[in-house]
Structure 1
Amino acid sequence: MTPSTRPLNRTTYDAAPAAPVRLIHLGLGAFHRAHQVFYTVKAEADPSDPEWGYCSFTGRGPSMAEKLTSQDGLFTLVTRSGDGDEYDVIEGIVEAQPANNVARLRELMASKDLAVVTMTVTEAGYHLTQGLEINTSSSSVATDIDALRGDHSRITYLGTAAGKLVLGLSARRDAGLGGIAIMSCDNIASNGNTVRASVLGLAREVDEELEEWIEENVTFPSSSIDRITPASASELARDVAEATGYEDVAPVVAEPFASWVIEGDFPNGRPAWERAGAQFVEDIEQFENRKLWLLNGSHSLMAYYGQLREHDTVAEAIADADVRSRVETLWDEAARHLTADGLDISGYRAALIERCENPRIRHNLAQIGIDGATKQRMCAVAIMNAELGAGRNGSGSAFSIAAWIAFVLGNENAANINDTRASEIDKARRAGQPIRALVAVLDEDLAANESALATITGHVEALTS
């Protein structure tokens, strides 16, 4: 701290009174703060008298909770565009808690004021099999089941998001309260069904009567979320201090663009997120696919093909004419299957190019490439399967799959495969037919389709020759 700066907290900053906790979030990170908290603050009818406060729990360690607690939940959102930076202090988090404070979570979920739980725990955090059944062979799930079958008041640790929600919903039922909404904000198609399957599956293992209560009272809206929020570089805090005069130990940076599309009901109310630009729809599927296939799909393609061409960031990759051509081809394939009213695919594509070209958002390709097996299954594989179903070969999406395979095959050190399925991927790339085996990691039916496999193989061979 310098003589010209002050620490950021509610005694040094002229903040509004802290709102009551009516929202919980699991997975406190940069995206949550730049998206759900941002929307909630912007949705307040009277910012000087806010009605909707978040208690946000970290996903693992206590670090971010400790940083935000030292600042009374305040943090600076830096909106970074080609025209410069905007600095806004965001006041929507009124309580930040470490992941292991399950007692506080249980207490809050048994409050009549609580309306919504939002989540960003990644797909792996739901602990589901491919058939959307709770994975009871997971040690984390098994441990939580054992704990939840005992005295809930004595539980001090739960390792899964579903376990924590079951604990809280049990307390809510026991308090004689009505239902709430639990909404996933993860990049997963039909994420409402995903969180529903996870919570109900775990509840079924613990208490079938609780499972029935949840089915009758709790809703699981689906949402499609979008805002590029790169990892904060070390110099961000310095920039904030110089621009605002406040020492912020937890700033976050994001692009100007933000989108939130929601489908579902909220039995105990919700913020008026539409006031901040959120869109409520009757059928979210194609809106989800627009985001997954166009934004996430192009990011994954660039992550692997861009790195193969020695680029480090999205802005560098999209400036490469060959990479951009591959992105446009992928988008052409996806667009054939995105026909619902209100999607505005041409406008969305134009906005994506502008976002990718933003020179002041350093979106690292290596970061995007993490957990590629899951991302490619949801994006490129889904597009290729749609194209195959329409009688076309899906060469553009096949190229994206091939770029991932070429990248994996080029990584001789298994430790460099930054993926929750790294051991499975490493085994596949060492198989007698590594291309087929790696495609099978993404989709076994696709790997068994000889024509599709030939298309992918041709691209891999061109990329690795």
Structure 2
Amino acid sequence: MEAGLQDNPRLARVGPAPKVGIVHLGPGAFFRAFNAVYTDEAMETAGGDWGILAVSLRSPTARDQLEPQGGAFTSVTLSQDGPQPQVIGSIAGVLVAPDDPAAVVAAMADAAVKIVSLTITEKGYCHEPATGALNMAHPDVVHDLAAPDVPRSAVGFIVAALSARRAAGVKPFTVLSCDNLPSNGALARGTVLDFARAVDVELADWIEANVPFPATMVDRITPATTDDDVARLADIAGYHDPACVFHEGFRQWVIEDDFVDGHPAWDAVGAQIVASVDAHELMKLRCLNGTHSTLAYLGYLAGYETISDAVADPDFAVLCERLWLTEIIPTVPKPDGEDLPAYCTTLMARYRDPSIRHRTWQIAMDGSQKLPQRLLGSIADNLAAGRAPAGLALAVAGWMRYVGGVDEKGGAIDVRDPFAVALKDASDGAGSPADKVAALLAFRDVFSVDLAGNDVFRGLVTDAYAALVADGSTATVRALVGLKTA
């Protein structure tokens, strides 16, 4: 019989919820597997009023799952030795922004809140991926500029709360982006200032002078929780927890040391507080996320459901290793304390772990927002150095084939991307592989003018796309890495 939460002491909160010191926007699976776990352990180790008020900007799901449990949930570490559940109690409450925007602004404006953190994904910043600037034509931005007291976007909420704190003479909070984006602190800062300048120039000047936006590098593979996961936890632990999250054991959090009013003792539980995150961030985005996206698109096309399935194919494993050796590591400055080849060896071990069922389809989401950071920067650096990055160009061609919306067997692909319709229309409206590549390279939200106009890059992608159409992903990868059919 399934145990109820109210009579299960293993999940029920012991004592009152922690006092709120952090408001977090975007309480999805990664937040629960990462920020909430670090913060729970930090309070357990060193104390402090760092409870998290989680705010969903769209869906009520997180509230509906967490509220009946008093904010507590189960973090399950996966390994080949079996799952290890841990109850996390750092979430003090959950709000759904569309239900009461004013309540969210008031919570963020409370002087007790010292940090507003974000895991809102690339598209949550309402920016132009190719430039980083706020997209003033984005529907949420248009709405928030017209009605700043009832915002919809993360940027709108941040500016409204900072405006309220400035008016009340309260010191600002730190804005801590924890999204997997290069220079995420600078991106958050730029979009907030763009929005603030459109509302009140003096407010923008105050934010620019007083609000820190530290950059971070975050890493923990966290597959989306499934119904099977929830059932599996019930079998393991004897209770039902719809808010549970499953993740790998590895984690890394590198944080720029720039806070207006302190932070939890994250560094006491494994986080690295450093002067600059840039090198670590570039290492992770290019080495991990670049190959993750490569495996996602090419692996999906080849029929592989998960990353571990993909790298179980020796051709795909060799593709990753050759990308690291010849096309990625040469573009990455060595971060302090890191050994890049050893880091990539660790990545391959993580990819191979069959207990981490990270779906290629999940990683493939929002590719138009991810490609500039994960692949295109490495490609541009290779081209500038006179190298022809055929492997990374194949990854881009895999994305182009994927967003065409039809798999190699003629079945429909459920493409989740802000530009899904426009990308498919562009692909469908072109004839030959060269025409399709040209049509997709014309998307300035993804490809810069310089990169799209580079003859070497265009030729590599066109050849790779034509091979994917003619021969399929498996054969094209095999041909590139030079392996013979077994």
| TMscore range, shorter length | over 0.9
> Is the counterpart of residue 450 in structure 1 residue 455 in structure 2?
yes
Change (3 A) 1:277 1:8: farther
The one-letter code matched in structure 1 to 2:96 is P
Q: Measure how far apart 1:359 and its partner are.
A: 1.0
Q: Could you tell me whether the CA contact under 8 Å between 1:18 and 1:50 is conserved in 2?
A: no
Provide, for residues 226-268 of structure 1, a one-character-per-residue CA deviation record: whole Å limited to 9, x for no partner. 1111111212222222322333231111111111111241011
Q: Measure how far apart 1:26 and its partner are.
A: 0.4
> Is the counterpart of residue 236 in structure 1 residue 236 in structure 2?
no
Equivalent of 2:157 in 151, 155, 164: 164
Where does 1:105-124 land on structure 2 (aligned, <5 Å)?
A: 105-124=104-123
Provide, for residues 274-319 of structure 1, a one-character-per-residue CA deviation record: whole Å limited to 9, x for no partner. 1111112222222111111111111111111112221111110011
Q: Could you tell me whether the CA contact under 8 Å between 1:263 and 1:282 is conserved in 2?
A: yes
Aligned-partner Cα distance in 1 for 2:302–2:11: 48
> Is the counterpart of residue 220 in structure 1 residue 213 in structure 2?
yes
> Is the counterpart of residue 381 in structure 1 residue 363 in structure 2?
no
Q: Could you tell me whether the CA contact under 8 Å between 1:313 and 1:364 is conserved in 2?
A: yes
Aligned to 2:147, the other structure's residue is in SS state helix
> Is the counterpart of residue 253 in structure 1 residue 246 in structure 2?
yes
Q: Which residue of 2 aligns with 1:423?
A: 421
Aligned to 1:44, the other structure's residue is in SS state helix
Task: Provide structure 1 residue ranges, at least 5 long, that are not aligned to the other structure.
Answer: 149-154
Kindly, what percent of the aligned residue pairs are identical? 37
The one-letter code matched in structure 1 to 2:314 is A
Task: Provide structure 2 residue ranges, at least 5 long, that are not aligned to the other structure.
Answer: 471-486
Q: Could you tell me whether the CA contact under 8 Å between 1:9 and 1:72 is conserved in 2?
A: no
Provide, for residues 76-113 of structure 1, a one-character-per-residue CA deviation record: whole Å limited to 9, x for no partner. 11111111010110000011111223233222223222
Q: Could you tell me whether the CA contact under 8 Å between 1:7 and 1:247 is conserved in 2?
A: no
Aligned-partner Cα distance in 2 for 1:334–1:12: 44
Aligned-partner Cα distance in 2 for 1:165–1:14: 30
The one-letter code matched in structure 1 to 2:74 is T
Q: Could you tell me whether the CA contact under 8 Å between 2:119 and 2:177 is conserved in 1?
A: yes
Q: Measure how far apart 1:15 and its partner are.
A: 2.3
Q: Measure how far apart 1:402 and its partner are.
A: 1.8
Q: Could you tell me whether the CA contact under 8 Å between 2:133 and 2:194 is conserved in 1?
A: yes
Q: Could you tell me whether the CA contact under 8 Å between 2:308 and 2:351 is conserved in 1?
A: yes
Aligned-partner Cα distance in 2 for 1:330–1:310: 21
Aligned-partner Cα distance in 2 for 1:406–1:63: 33
The one-letter code matched in structure 1 to 2:94 is A
Q: Which residue of 1 aligns with 2:483?
A: none
Q: Which residue of 2 aligns with 1:309?
A: 302
Q: Which residue of 1 aligns with 2:67?
A: 69
Q: Which residue of 2 aligns with 1:144?
A: 144
Change (3 A) 1:204 1:10: farther
- Of residues 111-120 and 411-420 in structure 1, the stretch that sits farther from structure 2 once superposed is 411-420
Q: Which residue of 2 aligns with 1:366?
A: 361
Aligned-partner Cα distance in 2 for 1:422–1:133: 21
Change (3 A) 1:294 1:19: same
Change (3 A) 1:81 1:145: same
Aligned-partner Cα distance in 2 for 1:139–1:452: 34
Provide, for residues 436-458 of structure 1, a one-character-per-residue CA deviation record: whole Å limited to 9, x for no partner. 22233331322211122112222
Q: Which residue of 2 aligns with 1:355?
A: 350
Post-superposition, which runs of at least 4 consecutive aligned residues in structure 1 deviate over 6 A? 8-12, 412-415
Aligned-partner Cα distance in 1 for 2:220–2:55: 21
Q: Measure how far apart 1:161 and its partner are.
A: 0.6
Where does 1:10-409 land on structure 2 (aligned, <5 Å)?
A: 13=12, 15-44=14-43, 46=45, 51-100=49-98, 101-129=100-128, 130-148=130-148, 155=149, 157-332=150-325, 333-340=327-334, 341-409=336-404
Q: Measure how far apart 1:344 and its partner are.
A: 1.8
CA RMSD of superposed structures (Å): 2.1
Equivalent of 2:442 in 440, 443, 449: 440
Aligned to 1:28, the other structure's residue is in SS state coil
Aligned to 1:379, the other structure's residue is in SS state helix
Q: Could you tell me whether the CA contact under 8 Å between 1:8 and 1:246 is conserved in 2?
A: no
The one-letter code matched in structure 2 to 1:117 is V
Q: Measure how far apart 1:45 and its partner are.
A: 5.3
Q: Measure how far apart 1:133 and its partner are.
A: 3.2
Q: Measure how far apart 1:18 and its partner are.
A: 2.1
Q: Could you tell me whether the CA contact under 8 Å between 1:9 and 1:71 is conserved in 2?
A: no
Scaled by the length of structure 2, the TM-score of the pair is 0.89
Count of residue correspondences: 456
Change (3 A) 1:96 1:34: same
Aligned-partner Cα distance in 1 for 2:353–2:252: 17
